[in-house]
Structure 1
Amino acid sequence: MPVVLRDAWTTVVPDLNDRHGPLPPLMLALTLTTGLVDAFSYLTLGHVFVANMTGNVVFSGFALVGAPGFSLTASLAAVGAFATGALFGGRLAQRAHAHRGRLLHRALVLETLLVAAACAAAQMADPSHGAVRYLLIVLLGLAMGVQNAAARALAVPDLTTTVLTLTITGIASDSRLAGGPGSRAGRRVLSAAAMFLGALIGALAVLHGHRSMPLLLAALLLAAATAAASTLTRSDRSWTQP
């Protein structure tokens, strides 16, 4: 089997005795969620990301010079909410650091509740205007901050769930064409594909369906991941150790 396909297979169907056990497919699910949520935020909430903070920093610069379609307050609200969510996620990581399965489960419970609340708010009022817009930015920014803090603490290689710059760099720079070992290319490609798929589905839902549909899909996906993670909290395998 080619190395890329083998890497992809072991990411989706991991060896439970591996260092990261069953975590990789769950991290892929969170990456898919990121694509869904950022598609909603960018297309519905007006040129703002709730997971990609690099974009918001750049957008803040655009807004300061008066580029049309960008809001400094929206970008700063997203960054502030994300940082607050990361703070909460960091506290969760400290409290559950001795068991990675419990850490992931607790973070997923909080993230699912936040995304579900955002979905409910988006269905009850126009998500693109007024206070509702900022409420959604805050709720989703908090959720993505929690997710990122948990992903950082779990430290599953090449599955950060939101940042693809280094992932794509690794695909190219570690390839055999560049003289590298070509390791983990399959996992990296899956990570990029998961976010692409989430963004694609999210954009289709916003443009041709209902604007809140990406959040409903994200909430359902997170609920399924939370249920799966709940079964991991009782594991005593070696992957659970920090």
Structure 2
Amino acid sequence: MSIKDAVLRVLRDARATVLPDPADRHGPLPPLMLALTVVTGLVDSFSYLVLGHVFVANMTGNVVFSGFAIAGAAGFSLVASLVALAVFGAGALLGGRIAHRARAHRGRVLHLALIVETVLFLAADTVARYGAPMDTAGTRYTLIALLGLAMGVQNATARALAVPDLTTTVLTLTITGMASDSRAAGGGGGKTGRRALSALAMFAGALVGAFAVRYGSPSLPLLFATVLLVGSTLDAFVLTRSDARWTQPL
């Protein structure tokens, strides 16, 4: 396969992710999962840059940060990392209950989860804007709790929906797949466009979030993420009325 053909294949795959075929097994879910991946980049940029060295979506980071904190590395809080891990787990439990409750219709699973996530983000945005300064312990841990819960719900939902290569919060396996499944590695080279889009979506969210914190208001990433979630929730509501094949459980 020539370079031109390979590029065209990647572009076709990316286009099919953004504008999916309604007859595809995952229907209209891929672009919504991309939107949630952008949310991940936004919220983790906020949590890391504003709340200290802690993530509310990337739990691998918090496990590593816990080790750093125990070793006495400067700038890392064991309590913050453990709180984030605990509330994320609680959110994942809630997201699992939502998924099992509405498992007969994947669109309803996503919509219910998005409602919960949006409410939690609205609460976090309100606390960030109108509460005590974010460097105070009460506000910091309230924000970690609200956002960690929301991202736990999101991660559990992405797991339940199981749209390939669109986990919304984890890129390690996505990037591994891009390399290990490539033609250079002897693979078929499939889904490279979708995987690249997933990485770019998180990068874009993180980039916008970092610029917002640095040159705008520290709470701006939460506002952007909340607006994106509100739009996604409205889109998902339309999906709840579908009876297409993609709505059926995997």
Q: Normalising by the residue count of structure 1, what TM-score does the alignment of the two structures yield? A: 0.99
**Aligned position for 1:149:** 156
Q: Which runs of 4+ in 1 moved over 3 A?
A: none
Write the letter of the residue equivalent to 2:185: A
Superposition deviation, residue 177 in structure 1: 1.1
1:30 aligns to 2:36 (yes or no):
yes
Write the letter of the residue equivalent to 1:147: Q
Trace 1:1-242 onto structure 2 (pairs within 5 A). Answer: 2-124=8-130, 125-242=132-249
Deviation string, structure 1 residues 113-154 (Cα, Å, up to 9, x no partner): 001110110011311221000000000000000000000000
Deviation string, structure 1 residues 148-188 (Cα, Å, up to 9, x no partner): 00000000000000000000000111111111100000000
Q: Distance in 2 between matches of 1:58 and 1:219?
A: 28
Superposition deviation, residue 99 in structure 1: 0.1
Q: Distance in 2 between matches of 1:3 and 1:129?
A: 50
Deviation string, structure 1 residues 75-130 (Cα, Å, up to 9, x no partner): 00000000000000000000000000000000000000001110110011311221
| Residue ranges of structure 2 left out of the alignment (5+ in a row) | none
SS of equivalent to 1:58? helix
SS of equivalent to 1:200? helix
Q: Distance in 2 between matches of 1:128 and 1:46?
A: 9
Q: Please report the RMSD computed on the Cα atoms of aligned residues, expressed in angstroms.
A: 0.6
Q: Distance in 2 between matches of 1:21 and 1:127?
A: 41
Q: Distance in 2 between matches of 1:28 and 1:129?
A: 33
Q: Distance in 2 between matches of 1:7 and 1:129?
A: 46
Q: Distance in 2 between matches of 1:61 and 1:220?
A: 35
SS of equivalent to 2:27? coil
Number of residue pairs the alignment of both structures matches: 242
Q: Distance in 2 between matches of 1:222 and 1:104?
A: 12
Q: Distance in 2 between matches of 1:38 and 1:104?
A: 21
| Residue ranges of structure 1 left out of the alignment (5+ in a row) | none
Q: Normalising by the residue count of structure 2, what TM-score does the alignment of the two structures yield? A: 0.96
